Amino acid sequence: MINVLIVLAVFIAMEGFTWVVHKYVMHGFMWRWHADHHDPRHEKSLEKNDYFFVVFALPAIALLYIGTMQGYNSTFYIGLGIALYGMAYFFVHDIFIHQRVPLLKKTKNPYLMAIRRAHKQHHKHVDKHHGECFGFLWVPVQYFKMYFNKK
Residue 50 has pLDDT above 70, yes or no: yes
Structure confidence by residue, pLDDT tens digits, 122-149: 888 778 887 888 888 888 889 888 888 7
Local confidence band at 151 (pLDDT 50, 70, 90 cut-offs): low
CB 123 within 8 A of CB 38: yes
d(CA 101, CA 99): 5
- pLDDT for the residue 40: 72
- 47-73 mean pLDDT: 94
Closest listed residue to residue 79, CA positions, set 98, 62, 60: 60
- pLDDT for the residue 44: 64
Chain mean pLDDT for the chain: 89
Q: What angle do CA 81, 19, 118 make, to 5 degrees?
A: 110
- pLDDT for the residue 104: 81
- 10-17 mean pLDDT: 96
- 62-87 mean pLDDT: 97
- pLDDT for the residue 42: 66
Closest listed residue to residue 114, CA positions, set 99, 97, 95, 131: 97
